[in-house]
Structure 1
Amino acid sequence: MMRRLFPAPLLSLALLALWLVLTNPYSLGNWLMAVVLGIAVPLFTQSLRPTPVRFSHPWVAFKLFMQVGKDVIGSNFRVLYGTLSPGDRMAKGGFVIVPLDLRDPNGLAVLAAIMCVIPGTVWSELALDGSELLVHVFDLKDPDLDIAMIKTRYERPLMEIFE
């Protein structure tokens, strides 16, 4: 019974907390709306989730979260510098093909979010068999270095968390 009402309990708690943070006055109405959202959204979106999430290694997840935050801040400055640079030093973007070892659909979804959150990188295309990822990099100097960075900073921790 409990599993049917709360198919994703962590998502329910996260939605409840997020609603309360976004609607500052903690009135009874806001608490009721938070509870309704925490129950209804996971129930109605259950069919959209490809596989159940097996989340392990929370410390690795925390370190990945901190790494992404650090990379977002650093990339903002690199993109700003590349945008404001004169013509001869202007950033030259390009595409890299990243071979993937990560196969979990939830891990791939998180990787897609990371690639789109970090300024200067965009997840462009995933091969049909899931073996390769096409990423556009704002300032592509060394493709091998960018590929290695994506694999070590993001893919490896995601594999540890989701697989």
Structure 2
Amino acid sequence: MRRLLPYPFVSAALFLLWLLLNESVAPGTALVGAVLALLGGWSFALLEPGTARVRRLGTALRLLGLVLADVVRSNIDVARIILGPHRVHRSGFIEIPLTLRNPQGLAALACILTATPGSAWVEYDSGEGMLLLHVLDLADEAAWVRTVKDRYEAPLMEIFP
């Protein structure tokens, strides 16, 4: 059974999403959805996702609260930039050296930075551990480096061994 459905929750979610998007449970729609769900589960298995081991749940919860607060604050800041008086804002790219090497930790950092309005993870050089980040309002490059390293990378290094 594991060979047919290596990731049953992924396949089930894809199947349900297909039915919802098509707004139909007709046999043809369900059959196509089942085939796509099987292919999606098999494709996910080919990626060989590692098992994430969270070491410090308290740190993870504090980081979650911090990220949620940062997302709200960043939404307000981006809204001010877009809707406020038109000042000149300098957007740009920053290179940030990362110590974090855990794949799950890097994925979490990518989600955090991309989910925060005004910043986007652009590229990561695994050989050098260098992150390229795009920032909408780049007033202080050093502040962004400190923010990423101190607020996000340090807790993620505690959470993911």
Counting matched residue pairs gives 138
**Counterpart amino acid of residue 99 in structure 1:** P
Residue 58 in structure 1 maps to residue 21 in structure 2: no
Q: How far 1:130 sits from its partner (Å)? A: 5.0
Counterpart position of 2:105: 107
> CA separation of 1:124/1:85 partners in 2, compared to 1, >3 Å: closer, same or farther?
same
**Is 1:77 aligned to residue 76 of structure 2?**
yes
Corresponding residue number in structure 2 for 1:67: 66
Q: Is the 8 A contact 1:124 1:134 kept in 2?
A: yes
Rounded Cα–Cα distance in structure 1 between residues aligned with 2:70 and 2:126: 28
Amino acid in structure 2 at the alignment position of 1:76: N
Runs of 5+ consecutive residues of structure 2 not aligned to the other structure? 21-37
Query: What is the correspondence of 1:15-54 to structure 2 with a 5 Å cutoff?
Result: 44=42, 45-54=44-53
CA distance in 1, matches of 2:111, 2:128: 16
Helix, strand or coil for the counterpart of 1:154? helix
Separation (CA, whole Å) in 1 of partners of 2:48 and 2:147: 28
Instruction: Provide the aligned C-alpha RMSD in A.
Output: 3.0
1:122 lines up with 2:137 in the alignment? no
Closer/same/farther in 2, CA of residues 100 and 48 from structure 1, 3 Å limit = same
Which one-letter code corresponds to 2:69 in the other structure? K
Distance of 1:125 and 1:85 partners within structure 2: 30
Residue matched to 2:145: 147
**Percent of matched pairs sharing the same residue:** 39
Quick check: 1:98 aligned with 2:96?
A: yes
Greater C-alpha Rg: 2
1:50, distance to aligned residue in structure 2 (A): 4.1
Q: After the TM superposition, which parts of structure 1 deviate over 4 Å for at least 4 consecutive aligned residues?
A: none
Q: Which runs of 5+ in 1 are unaligned?
A: 24-39
Q: What TM-score do the two structures reach when normalised by structure 1?
A: 0.71
Superimposed CA distance per residue, residues 22-80 of structure 1 (whole angstroms, 9 cap, x where no aligned partner): x9xxxxxxxxxxxxxxxx8xx74344244322211011111111111000000001001
- Is the Cα contact below 8 Å between 1:82 and 1:90 reproduced in 2? no
Match for 1:60: what amino acid?
T
Could you state the TM-score of these two structures normalised by the residue count of structure 2? 0.72
Query: Larger deviation: 48-57 or 64-73?
Result: 48-57
